Amino acid sequence: MKGKQAVFIAAAFVLGFAAIILWSRANPAHYTYKATVIDPPAEASDFALMQEDGTIFRLSEQEGQIVLLYFGFTHCPDVCPTTLVDVKRAFVELEEKSKEVTLVFITVDPERDTVEKMADYASAFHPDFIALSGTEEELGPIYESYGVYREKEMVDSEIDYLYAHTAIIYVIDRAGRWRMSFPFGMGPEAMADDLSHLLKE
């Protein structure tokens, strides 16, 4: 009888432990984000820019979606293409849940990056990526409100210049709050894990 009782207690312990693990994975409150968390979250500054099809993209109208806001340019030789590939792979990891996440790519080089050029560039990475451009007057306040660093660097080549720029991805939650930042090189699996848990909140 004691042997059966011991087996029963051991089985109950194993099942209980397994249940705790499953509950912890399902409960976002017990997940530690890999990104840089903004605590407390900050209200994301609204902006409006014209898209390639002539419609206006307004950040405040994306409520219900998680928005990944990234600033870069089409002549970027390394950081931008690497980041966009990582986001694409994170979308693959998320599968159907990726439809609840929007990547918005805004140029830091409006002198060369028309909205058409931006759209062609972004769609080569993923057809659902949104790409935006504008004039210096339109983009300046957006750069300022998000603390975007951009500095033109002349180079001895046909492209004339590059931009050193902020390389983080701003993660804006469903309620329009800046919740965290993905640093450059974070990796698609880590991005997907964080986004999956943020979507559960």
Indicate the average pLDDT of the chain. Answer: 90
Under 8 Å between Cβ of 74 and 107: yes
pLDDT at position 20: 41
Q: How far apart are the first and last CA of the chain?
A: 47
Hey, what amino acid is at 182?
Answer: F
Query: What percentage of the chain reaches a pLDDT higher than 70?
Result: 86
**Residue 123, amino acid:** S
Radius of gyration of the chain (CA): 21
Q: pLDDT tens across 94-152, in order?
A: 999 999 999 999 999 999 999 999 999 999 999 999 999 999 999 999 999 999 999 99
Q: For the chain, how many helices (H) and strands (E)?
A: 5, 10
- C-alpha span between 68 and 155 (Å, rounded): 30
Question: Tens digit of pLDDT for each residue in 23-47?
Answer: 444 554 689 999 999 999 999 999 9
Res 29: pLDDT: 60
Given a cut of 50, whether residue 179 has pLDDT beyond it is yes
pLDDT at 9: 42
- Here the tokens at position 1 are 């009888």
Distant-in-sequence, close-in-space partners of 158: CB < 8 Å, separation ≥ 6: none
Q: β-pairing, 101-107 with 130-132?
A: parallel
